[in-house]
Amino acid sequence: MYSAAPATVSGKTERDSLQRTCAVRRNTYSRARGSWVFLRHLTQVKHMNTEKRIGPTDLQPRRRESGAEGSVSLHNEDVGAAFDEMAELLSIQGENVFRIRAYQRAAQIIRSLPRELAEMHGAKEFDALPGIGADLAEKIEEFLHTGRLNALEKLRRQVPQGVRELLKLPALGPVRVRALLTELKVHGIDDLRRVLAEGRLREVKGFGPGIHARLTQALAENQGAPSQQRVPFSVATQYATPLMKFLESLQGVRRVEIAGSYRRGRDTVGDLDVLVSAARDARPIEGLRRYGDLRQLTVAGDTKASGILRTGLQVDVRVLEPESFGAALHYFTGSREHNIHIRRRAQERGYKLSEYGLFRGSERIAGATEEELFTALGLPWIPPELREDRGEIEAAEGGTLPKLIETGELRGDLHVHTNASDGSDSMEAMVAAARARGLKYVAITDHSKYVGVTHGLDAERLARQMETIDKLNTTLHGFTVLKGAEVDILRDGSLALPDSVLRRLDVVIIAVHTRFDLSEAKQTARVLRALERPGVSILAHPFGRLLGERVPFALDFERVLKAVRDRHCCLEINAQPLRLDLDDQHAKIASDHGILLSIASDAHSVDQLGFLENGVRQARRAWLTRKDVLNTRTLGEVRPLLRGTVR
């Protein structure tokens, strides 16, 4: 049985979840017992016998272009983290819920921007962003210009440090922390240990036996302490890209590559392994000392350096000779399991393999490029996304490596929102942007009315939208807008729109947006019942995960796969950067079961249509080819597949 880890975020809706655990603040994660444990607020950097805590407003102002010598690059993630922390502290103080939600929503919007705020033109342009009013625009400008946010610093002074530390523990969002503070006078970890030992936690509403057990376990495992961080790929990119540009700008540098899990396209990244090829007289390590985003250089030699960026993300830089670059790129790309398998293959052929090359005795026979390394071992080049030792070496040897999907092969996007629900742009704008990206069709799939956090469509408004789409299509040439909806799966498995409406749509996407805490049996029964409704085309973000905020809910995936296959439906790889749901392993399982996958941007603005690249990266890790993906097909090929789901 394939089953996701049980959900650990208590509560009923996505709105509730956002109130309790604001999205990715400070981006520090650790793996504990198969679930994401989220460490909030502060990244703790340790070096030798010193310890330094940094938060988002400890950054210095960005005065030059990102990556310039001596400058600090403030990224969207930094601004989002600051607003998330403000929302938490305001919630602990019991402030107005609408004010809290404004900061939460702003943080979400900022993180979803494909363009850096620092590249925009100040408060006027910030104010034009959806959900960002004049007050928040001024705060963004203050932060970007000074590296500080006075309002946040004031809140930090008002909320004791010990209280803020409680937010690092699982199951303790700001609402529960406020309850502990006001009802039990819990001002920190020691106070929490005391009330747990005295059995007084049950005195507070909302703290049942499950919460008691989780807190006891977290304190026993010291889960509130800092640990090796992992950040979402999209967050790592904000810091990896300017670092690469900076290193490439240094005199004598010829090539820069980022290896590791970043190159393999994993959904989260632990650190940045940077490889540099440079002229013999170049000094890239000395140049690295001048990088504005570098907080601390912990190790520095002529050819190797390690440091911590101001975000807490670790960076390891190695300067390599050209004849070793390919071997090192392979070695540091990993994964460890893949490397062990390749090294064993080399040994079986009488070779010695290291990051310096492939050797027969003292003779280097390969190493300048990855291609020559694989060739010397009797293999074709293996794409980095596949290097997890999940059969890729055997497939390479047998000549059965798949030709992985490319972004340019996508012809349409079957999950797009407009300002008719919770999107920020009009239907016409979304269509124009999709055409500009070379797509041939999109499905407008605004939310059904049931979702409390969106301005959803009821049957009447959806009918009017369908008429608008029909009129719009008469003006388009070589492009088609499909009529669709993203329909809520209610707790009992019924859908938020009637069957009579669903049958009129080209695309019916169904999704769980509430009650993530149901048991596996109940959650599975709920999804299975929803799949029985007529016209259901695609099950969207099937596990409901949000990286760093919400683990996948419990689901019997085998039973869902059977129902999807029997109904000729599709599953979605949602390309929103914090969803990436299905993940790579579940997407491969689905494909192996003969189920088509839809790579969907779930775009809520014209810029977010570019998120399709995230989904393609996930699909490549799942070994998917063009034929495995629904929306690589022409509209003429897609329509019969969608009609085949109607009953």
pLDDT at 529 over 90: yes
DSSP character string of 87-114: HHHHHHTT--HHHHHHHHHHHHHHHH-S
d(CA 487, CA 457): 10
| Among 569, 571, 568, 570, residue whose Cα is nearest residue 583 | 571
Residue type, 410: L
- Domain end, chosen from 398, 418, 445, is at 398
CATH number of the domain where residue 240 is located:
3.30.460.10
**pLDDT higher for 455 or 177?**
177
Question: How sure is the predictor about 580, in pLDDT bands with cuts at 50, 70 and 90?
Answer: very high
- More confidently predicted of 441 and 183: 441
Residue-wise pLDDT for 488-527, tens only, equals 999 999 999 999 999 999 999 999 999 998 999 999 999 9
pLDDT tens per residue across span 365-390: 999 999 999 999 999 999 999 999 99
Write down the mean pLDDT value for the chain. Answer: 85
Q: Phi/psi of residue 5, each to 5°?
A: -60, 145
Residue 9 predicted with pLDDT over 60: no
Confidence bin at 437 (pLDDT 50/70/90): very high
Lowest mean pLDDT, pick from 31-45, 266-280, 396-410, 439-453: 31-45
* 211 and 244 both lie in a single domain: no
Domain presence at residue 119: yes
Q: For 270-294, what is the mean pLDDT?
A: 93
Contact 470, 476 (CB under 8 A): no
The CATH code of the domain that includes 488 is 3.20.20.140
Query: What's the first-to-final CA gap in the chain, in angstroms?
Result: 29
Note whether residue 305 is domain-resident.
yes
Three-state SS across 431-487?
A: HHHHHHCCCCEEEECCEECCCCCCCCECHHHHHHHHHHHHHHHCCCCCCEEEEEEEE
Q: How far apart are CA 208 and CA 214, in angstroms?
A: 10
**226 within a domain of the structure (yes/no):** no
Q: Tell me the residue type at 585.
A: Q
Is a pLDDT exceeding 80 seen at residue 29? Answer: no
Flag whether 21 is in a domain: yes
> The domain spanning residue 86 has which CATH number?
1.10.150.110
pLDDT in tens, 238-259: 999 999 999 999 999 999 999 9
8 Å CB contact between 367 and 331: no
**pLDDT per position as a tens digit, 608-645:** 999 999 999 999 999 999 999 999 999 999 999 998 76
Would the pLDDT of 409 be above 90?
yes
User: Which residue spans within 33-147 are E strands per DSSP?
Assistant: 35-39, 43-47, 50-54
pLDDT at 589 over 60: yes
Which range has the worst mean pLDDT, 32-41, 356-365, 406-415? 32-41
Same domain assignment for residues 494 and 638: yes
Query: Range with the lowest mean pLDDT among 41-45, 348-352, 448-452?
Result: 41-45
Q: Do 492 and 562 reside in the same domain of the chain?
A: yes
Same domain, 476 and 551: yes
pLDDT at 122 over 90: no
Instruction: Examine residue 625 and state whether it is found in any structural domain, yes or no.
Output: yes
- How far is the C-alpha of 599 from the C-alpha of 615, rounded, in Å? 6
Count of domains forming the chain: 3
> Which residue from 385, 405, 444 is spatially nearest to 609, judged by alpha carbons?
444
Could you tell me the pTM of the whole model?
A: 0.77
CA separation for the pair 327, 152 (Å, rounded)? 47
Residues 352 and 496 in one domain: no
Domain holding 73, by residue range, is 14-220
Residue 510 lies inside a defined structural domain of this protein: yes
pLDDT at 452: 54
Q: Do 296 and 207 share a domain, yes or no?
A: no
Q: Confidence class of residue 163 from pLDDT cuts 50, 70 and 90? A: confident
Q: How confident is the model at residue 475 (pLDDT cuts 50, 70, 90)?
A: very high
The residue from 398, 432, 449 where one domain ends is 398
Contact 565, 528 (CB under 8 A): no
Q: How many CA atoms lie less than 13 Å away from 630 in the CB half-sphere?
A: 31
Determine the pLDDT at residue 37.
28
Whether residues 524 and 622 fall in one domain: yes
> Quick check: 69 pLDDT over 60?
no
Q: Kindly tell me the burial class for residue 594, based on how many C-beta atoms sit within 10 Å of its own C-beta (0-12, 13-18, 19 or more).
A: exposed
Residue 66: band (very low, low, confident or very high) from pLDDT cuts 50, 70, 90: very low
* Residue 274 counted as domain residue: yes
Same domain? For 96 and 244 the reply is: no
Categorize the per-residue pLDDT at 71 as very low, low, confident or very high, splitting at 50, 70 and 90.
Answer: low
Is 199 found in the same domain as 245?
no
Residue 6 in any domain: the answer is no
Mean pLDDT of 73-95: 88
User: Residue 148 pLDDT more than 90?
Assistant: no
Do 319 and 385 lie in one domain? The reply is yes
Tell me what pLDDT residue 454 has: 57
**The last residue of a domain, from among 175, 195, 220:** 220
In this structure, are 31 and 131 located in the same domain? yes
Looking at the fold, whether 413 and 393 belong to one and the same domain comes out as no
Closest alpha carbon to 265 in 204, 195, 335: 335
Residue 139 has pLDDT above 70, yes or no: yes
Lowest mean pLDDT among 20-24, 58-62, 80-84, 124-128: 20-24
